[in-house]
Amino acid sequence: MLFNDSFNINIDVLNNGLDPKTIKSPIGIITQESLEEVIVGGRLSYRFRDGDMGYGGNSYRIPLDSSHTLLMWFVTDGGYYTNEEHEIISNFKFID
């Protein structure tokens, strides 16, 4: 977990490939309508709002390979999208 005064970032590697039909949240059900296609690190990824009762933020599912997905969940107290989140996502790169 990474954090600052504005948000926490929970990062995990999931042992499944990225399939928008099977994306699940540990705290809620994801509908196909709630998924937004985004490019993260040059890869087609998915973003959705994840959380409940004022606790939560945007969750990103980013493909690593055919059987692993990177999860990045930005958890905030007062809103879903921060400038810091935008900076991190827009500048995210995979390195060898």
DSSP code of residue 83? H
Q: Token pair 């690190």 is at which residue?
A: 41
Q: Looking at residue 57, what is its pLDDT? A: 79
CA distance 55 to 34: 18
Of 5, 85, 16, nearest to 50 by C-alpha is 85
The arithmetic mean of pLDDT across residues 15-27, rounded, is 83
Tell me which H or E stretch contains 86: helix 83-91
pLDDT tens, position by position, 40-95: 999 999 998 876 655 677 889 999 999 999 999 887 766 566 678 888 899 999 98
